[in-house]
Every structure is written in structure tokens, then in C-alpha cells.
Amino acid sequence: VAGGRPVARTTIGGFDGQGGALAAGRVGEGRVAGPSRMDGYFRNEAASAEALDGAWLKTGDLGFVHDGALYLVQPLLSGTDLG
């Protein structure tokens, strides 16, 4: 599913299981960073810590970036090995 190109001042990327950025076209965890990213879940620090990694919001989906657009492949299931 095409998620599209990011809006101004927003960055998208795919990441491996150790949080390293992947090259374009490689499937990994989709993430989004920018000023419109949430600061966290209301009164739920544990969920916020799970969803956020520094400036990045983990989408919870497997995806890849191609020509500057994010494509989502499937939900990231618990136990999925991202290498």
C-alpha cells in the first residue's frame, strides 16, 4: 500500500531490528519523524516508550521507501525478525 510522500519537514524511513536505517527499497519497520509526530500516549509512558525511538515514531508496519515515498507491506507482528 502506498503511504505516499512525506509532507514538509517530515522524514520517513525503513529501519532494521537494531534501529539502523535501511537503504531505499529494503523492507523494514516504517518510521516517521517531524514536527507533527506525537509526543506520546496520554498517561501511558510504557506505550510511549514502545512507539517512540528518539525523533522517530514507529508505525508498527513493515515497509520500504522508494522514490521518496513510503510503501507499507504488512503489519509488523510481534516476533518478526528484522535482522
One digit per residue, the tens of pLDDT, for the chain of length 83 reads: 888 899 999 999 999 989 999 999 999 999 999 999 999 999 999 999 999 999 999 999 999 999 999 999 999 876 677 76
Instruction: Return the SS3 of 38.
Output: coil
Instruction: Return the SS3 of 61.
Output: strand
9 backbone dihedrals φ, ψ, rounded to 5°:
65, 20
Q: pTM for this structure?
A: 0.85
Burial 3-14 (b: 16+ CB within 10 A, else e): beebeeeeebbb
Q: What is the pLDDT of residue 79?
A: 66
